[in-house]
Structure 1
Amino acid sequence: MAGTDGAAVTDGAAEAGEAGVTAALARMAVLGDTPVREHVAVFEEVLGGLEATLASVEDVPAASEQGRR
């Protein structure tokens, strides 16, 4: 995974990011059993989870920056 400057983020951040994405997307599994009129709420919840995951990964300094601090 790369940070906003193209540098790789720490392995822990990448794993946390992947776990966050997996958890957010897993929420979509309920769509088959959910009335269509409720799908928008599920999509909004998933989007919120993905945005939060992206924000948390972007906040982690890139591995190359950590050595410079």
Structure 2
Amino acid sequence: MEESPRAIFAGDLRIDGVKEMLDRWCQRASRSRLPSFIRLSKTIRTQKRRYPRPIRLGVSNGRVEGLDA
């Protein structure tokens, strides 16, 4: 479940596809009974109006996360 959102930044999905993928992921996360996934799905749902911008611009914090040791 933690790997599936990576496809969003692969660059081959349109904004509509990204929204659909995140909605499905949030549904699964909410039913997972894992507190961290439930909390993340709530955050994604509250920030829903903001997802198109970083996807369209190809912005990710992957480099920063990769340096965090």
Category of TM-score, reference length = shorter chain: 0.3 to 0.5
Q: Which has the larger radius of gyration?
A: 1
Q: Tell which has more relative contact order, 1 or 2 (C-alpha 8 A, sep 6+).
A: 1
The alignment's TM-score, normalised by the length of structure 2, stands at 0.41
